[in-house]
Structure 1
């Protein structure tokens, strides 16, 4: 048996040699393919798990955004009411205190300022919170990937992250932008809109009848106005709520400390302060980006149309057809837009009847406010925030 095998190998040594080599190569390739397949499956599983975790965190932070927005939206409305104080003026009219004419003039100013402040303020608030929540959630996701298991409660000890860990203290300092917008920022915004509207609305007669088109044109005229020198002298800043939106979110102190810091301050910063400055600067850049300004302009239009629809619902309780005053309004205030022509039978009401309706919008509870719900479900904002989140999930911040 062995002799025959030896003779076979001797007579067919080339076949045996190449067959052995072929078998060895085949086995090697089979093992390599199996290893590659296992590696591919492992990589695919990790990628799928990463996507699931990323989506879960995004959805969780979406719920957090809704709660956060409603809380700050209520505070923002309280500050608008405190600044404009329509309720106090209304009580004075009911009780017969003060000058009746002057009180009505004040209510007239407040009515237009209320709506514009609410539209601009809520648009900036929703954009800012969207940015903040998704910056934090993106960094938290990156942090979860980088911190080894078992070290989560030790601030990333031993992982080299140090101050890059998004602590509660860092989050509170970062979210101070929202508090500033809802307090000091709204003080400045209400003053800006009130003074801008003053030269336009103060000349309107309470008996003058308005259609929805007339009210819309008044809003457009106010939006196109510039502050006069007298307004600037009393400390009202000429900051447009879309072009200069960041001014209502960043205090002068924060701008000097984080956005435009002196070289000496940068050299003495701690690692945590450097990290916070980086996040603040990038938030400022996001707010100043064209995408953000486009969203604010879209929300401006959406908000005004929302309140014009509500005014229209009220006007349809007046069945009589009236003539529009749009042509006279355009001539009186120098509008460059062509006069808005009223359709036959379009309802109208005296301005004195519209004022209480316009001032009532600010009194709605946040949970029942359709405008708040519109902002919460707006797809443009959600898409913008998703892009911010995706960017920060893989972003490397220098500390």
Structure 2
């Protein structure tokens, strides 16, 4: 019996060895597949957890960024409206002085310089802070940044709140003066003419040596740099250099230019309401309200308002609330204290820009990787 078994194994030894190897190899392969599958699942779980963690951190960074933009926009608006104030000129005009023409010419420059400054300032503020806070957020996601370094880095925007904004107002006022010299106070303007006027100011600024769009960093960042203490020096300098690189990039220039153009479109849309009102006063009182609206819309491109009458309208856009739309949009985005003045309306509009949102995401992803 034993001899027969031994003889069987001897005769079939190759088959048995092959079968054993195949069985062993199969078991090993199954174990290996199970191990690789478990490793893949664990890696996937870690990546999902990491993405979720990054997403939550980015959302927190964005909330901080938006709140900071909204908070500082009030200071920027107050300074611009104070330094380009028309109150003294209006007060003098009420007394019917001999130099009335010169005062109207000055009012013409200030009224347009003021609203143009708000458009550029709000775009530059939103873009710079979106870059800074997302860059800092990316750094903080992957490593600890000393609080002193954070404070010093974020304090760079204070330059724009003072000297940078003064420089912007000078550049804007100079270019507005050049463009407005082509327009007389009695010149009648259609809505399209008014849009062309704003476009001409924008083109004049685009051709300026200190074009605020292309030279954004010269207005919003201190030119002499910032210094930190101890080991934070290298990190701070690196963050400053990288911020400068982003603000001077083609993407940032495109975002700023897009926001400025959007801001002027918003102003023209607002002025269209006044053109429609001017047309409505010329229609017969017996005209029905629905017919009145249709006529106003159909004839709006033919309506003309003299520049002298347009100046107080433009000046008024920066001096009074714009209605509930801006405040409502602000509340929908979590800005409970959002005001409904021109600067706030522009800030909300720009923060809803997909281009600005994409820039913020790209900056954050680049520096947290």
TM-score by length of 2: 0.81
Match of 1:275 among 210, 235, 247: 235
CA RMSD of aligned residues (A): 2.9
Distance between the aligned counterparts of 1:208 and 1:169, measured in 2? 56
Normalised to the residue count of structure 1, the TM-score between the two structures is 0.75
The 5 A counterparts of 1:1-399 are 5-94=5-94, 100-143=100-143, 165-202=144-181, 204-225=183-204, 239-254=210-225, 270-319=230-279, 346-363=302-319, 364=321, 366-368=338-340, 369-394=344-369
Q: 2:317 & 2:13 partners in 1: Cα distance?
A: 97
Number of equivalent positions: 333
Match of 2:288 in 1: none
Mark the runs of 5 or more structure 2 residues left unpaired by the alignment.
283-298, 322-326, 328-337
On the 8 A contact 1:321/1:345 being kept in 2, the answer is: no
Unmatched segments (≥5 aa) in structure 1: 144-164, 228-236, 259-267, 323-342, 395-399
Q: Which moved more, 1:241-250 or 1:91-100?
A: 91-100
The answer (yes or no) to whether the contact 1:77–1:362 under 8 Å persists in 2 is no
Contact 1:119/1:304, CA 8 A, preserved across alignment: yes
1:255-277, Cα deviation, whole Å (9 max, x unpaired): xx68xxxxxxxxx9843111111
SS at match of 1:300: helix
Alpha-carbon distance between aligned partners in 1 of 2:223 and 2:301, rounded to the nearest angstrom: 52
Whether contact under 8 Å (2:119, 2:260) holds in the other structure is yes
Distance 1:171 1:220 in 2: 39
Paired with 2:142 and 2:210, the residues of 1 have a C-alpha distance of 36
